[in-house]
Amino acid sequence: MRNGSRRGFTLVELLVVITIIGMLMALLFPAINAARSSGRRTQCSNNLKQIGTGYQSFLSTHGESGKRLYADGWTVTLKPFMQDVTLMYICPDDEVAHGGSGGTSGVGSISGVGPAFEGEIYTSYGMNNEVHRFVHDSERLLLVEYAKPVADVARSDSEDNWNQMKRLRHSNSMNVLFVDGRVEGKQEYEIDPGDGELRELFWQASDD
């Protein structure tokens, strides 16, 4: 007569299975987190590219009139030249904008160093305060990841403290937008305006 009873897992076998699952999860989670981080960095880069396109559209529209873009109010000025700026102006890794440490979405200030709002549009990026002087300056920085909308660091007597205002949101680096539309990832020391040569190379208008 056939015995219909089934042998169950022993405690040791269950512990082995649980251990194997735990090991697999430990291997997979870093890869998943890395992929998510890479995706957020790519989205931030795409945001900057779209803003760069909006900047070029602004120049094309106002080229004959000679109207210049000023850093003060840039989020409002460029808004008509882009779509869905509510998302485009915000880095996915901006903890303040997404309710992380240092503030909450839509209100407050960033890490106690001042407001990050311009009108009613929040932004994760700061525009080079020299932008209105740019003519033949395709290699200069237009936008960087920053604590407020205007990056006032292009002069030796500028008001902003670079070390306080810069935002390294992507593996201790930041995305930056150049005047010619290029977006690159940079370490802070590569574009530090505290270095006179770097300040002249990346931040100051070439007509100085």
pLDDT digits (tens, 9 = 90+) for 133-186: 998 899 999 999 999 999 999 998 898 999 999 999 998 999 999 999 999 999
Report which of 177, 185, 178 is spatially closest to residue 48, judged by C-alpha positions: 177
- What percent of the chain is helix, strand and coil (3-state, nearest 5)? 40, 15, 50
* 3-state SS, residue 183: strand
Report which of residues 199 and 82 the model is more confident about.
199
Report in angstroms the alpha-carbon separations of 31 from 14, 25, 26: 26, 10, 9
- CB of 186 within 8 A of CB of 168? no
Query: Which tokens sit at 83?
Result: 């779509």
pLDDT for 46 beyond 90: yes
* Percent of the chain topping pLDDT 90: 56
- Residue spans of alpha helices (H) in 118-195: 162-165
Phi, psi of 52 (to 5 degrees): -60, -40
* Mean local confidence (pLDDT), 29-35: 74
Q: What is the pLDDT of residue 105?
A: 33
- Residue spans of alpha helices (H) in 63-186: 74-77, 85-88, 162-165
What ranges make up the beta strands (E) of the chain? 117-118, 121-122, 125-128, 141-145, 150-151, 174-178, 183-186
Query: Lowest mean pLDDT: which of 44-48, 52-56, 134-138, 181-185?
Result: 134-138
Report which of residues 72 and 114 the model is more confident about.
72
Provide the edge-to-edge strand list for the sheet that holds 141-145: 150-151, 125-128, 141-145, 174-178, 183-186
